[in-house]
A = this chain, B = another copy of it.
């Protein structure tokens, strides 16, 4: 069975993939490929990576797709059709828990210990120690709301435990009244949920208005969870302590978007899942899942298009 790999990888990593598939034909996508689906896809039973949705739809022999992402919004339409019943598609659920939780905590601590201002002060060659020190806040003892109960939220909670925080976590069964009450008492609100019909727009203008003026808001889930204009209004008016956004509704964030100039907003530009060993870890995951697929077991991370994750 041929395997089609569409991943940014170096020569060593190509060798590693070739070893992993043990003698079977591997087609590596060329960086220059554009236009229609390459011929190699037509004979491939397995795809590793994220080719365009219409390419996948045009590949008749496909049985299994191992995406290199958690999100699979670009394949949502495809999965609703016959493709979804014929081909198993797996995402990297749980793969990004640790790096994204580290970026979330980096952002929370950066805002509360005023790292962005300290960076700008250094660039300006300005010493302002006594001026900003009284405005430092601590994470210690914070009331934390976690919106999401997946691997990122669990890891973030684990990282926050030694700060003596208290936690309220909301999963897919979240209730509006309980969430509203928790938001009004929270020092830190962290959204780490996928885009689903149950999560889209949950952080609307009313809920953003309920948060405390000192609160830190974090979104490492999906941009669609948040009313971006309402968030920008709250930050600009000083009605929210700060925000860390790894995701936005449109990425790259368009030129002229209000977020570029919002105060106390840290944009981590969808780098939260990154790590120097990211591709190596992805290959290792593919190897484990390929073994399951070959053994006739259900591969890890099988997505449910109806549920949205």
Query: Which A residues form the contact surface with B (CB < 8 A)?
Result: 98-99, 102-103, 105-107, 109-110, 112-116, 118-123, 125, 127-129, 132-140, 158-159, 161-163, 251-253, 255, 260, 265-276, 278
Contacts and interface: CB of A to CB of B under 8 A. Distances in A.
A269 B118 contact: yes
A137 B266 contact: no
Contacts of A278: 133-134, 136
Contact of A129 (B137, B139, B271): B271
Nearest to A140: B98
A125 to B, nearest CB: 5
A99 B133 CA distance: 11
A112 to B, nearest CB: 7
Contacts of A116: 115, 119
A260 B121 CA distance: 9
Contacts of A269: 118, 121, 127-129, 132
A99 B161 contact: no
B133 A252 contact: no
Given A102-B113, A109-B106, A159-B163, A129 B270 contact: yes
7 contacts: A102-B163, A113-B271, A118-B268, A127-B269, A129-B270, A134-B274, A137-B275
A112 B118 contact: no
B127 A253 contact: yes
A128 B276 CA distance: 16
Contacts of A163: 102, 159
Given A122-B260, A260-B125, A114 B275 contact: no
